[in-house]
Structure 1
Amino acid sequence: MKLSEIKEHLKQVETVTFELENGGFVPEHFHVTEVGIISKNFIDCGGTVRNEKVANFQLWDANDFDHRLKPQKLLNIIALSEKVLGMEDLEIEVEYQSETIGKYELGFKENHFVLLSKQANCLAQDKCGIPAEQLKENTKTACCTPGGGCC
């Protein structure tokens, strides 16, 4: 989901609610502790230089039961981020604490947002030497492991 999409959804909902893929929900008293831009410059396992940039939202369960984030408040935080940080209409990545800080893609279902698990994938599939069928079966396993063929 892009920044422009979350803003449209926030204009339509009465509450800001995040569902986890397992059907549970982020506690309703969560805080958005960060809205920012994350830039990642790297070389993939095939030697290609890559640059990625995402809008980052960090959710935190503060055990602060007296507050609830309203849609307009989140819209105001996003607007300030756009103004001060020059945030573009980027894809959103959400960080949320479970066993460790997880990174999620963002979806929308009915009247709430959904945290969608991100999966690792080989970005240099044409150089891995692993058959395409096997890459599809092993989307959680990167090809750049010892003996993987692309490093």
Structure 2
Amino acid sequence: MKLSEIKKHLASLKTIAFQLPNGDLVPNHFHVTEVGRVTKNFIDCGGTVRNEEVANFQLWEEDDYDHRLHPEKLTNIIELSEKVLNIADLDIEVEYQGATIGKYGLDFNGTNFVLTATKTDCLAKDNCGIPQEKPKMKLAQIQTQNACSPESGCC
């Protein structure tokens, strides 16, 4: 989800809720402690220089159970961050504390913002000797010579 999309969704909401990939909701007294621009410059294992940039939200919760972040307040935080940090309409990543800090993508299901699981990946598979995915075939489609059939008694 991009910054423009979250602002569009926030404009139609009365309350904000974030849902974890397992379906649980982030406690409703969460804070968005950071909205920022994260730039990652790196070299992948194939030697290619890469640059990534995302908008980053950090969700945090504490024992202040009466705290509620309202949609217009989050919109204001986002717009201030865009202006002061010169953030473009970037994809959003969300950090949230579980057993360790987790990094998630963001989606919207019509009611809640949904934290989506992210995965690592090799960006240079062709240089690393990683085989391309093998085609999936049904065993019934595989033709073999001199194969024994279940009725032949050879198995």
What TM-score range do you get, normalising by the shorter chain? 0.7 to 0.9
Shift, 1:62, TM fit: 1.4
2:26 is aligned with 1:26: yes
| Percent identity over paired residues | 66
| TM-score normalised by length of structure 1 | 0.86
Question: What residue is the counterpart of 2:83 in the other structure?
Answer: 83
C-alpha distance in 2 between matches for 1:126 and 1:2: 30
C-alpha distance in 1 between matches for 2:66 and 2:119: 35
C-alpha distance in 1 between matches for 2:133 and 2:83: 45
SS of match in other structure, 2:121? coil
Q: Deviations over 1:31-75 (max 9, x none)?
A: 000000111000001000001110000000112111100000000
C-alpha distance in 1 between matches for 2:75 and 2:15: 12
C-alpha distance in 2 between matches for 1:130 and 1:67: 49
Question: What residue is the counterpart of 2:48 in the other structure?
Answer: 48
C-alpha distance in 2 between matches for 1:132 and 1:106: 29
1:76 is matched by which residue type in structure 2? N
Shift, 1:7, TM fit: 0.5
C-alpha distance in 2 between matches for 1:17 and 1:51: 31
- The alignment's C-alpha RMSD in Å is 0.9
In terms of fraction of residues, the more strand-rich structure is 1
C-alpha distance in 2 between matches for 1:88 and 1:102: 24
C-alpha distance in 2 between matches for 1:107 and 1:72: 19
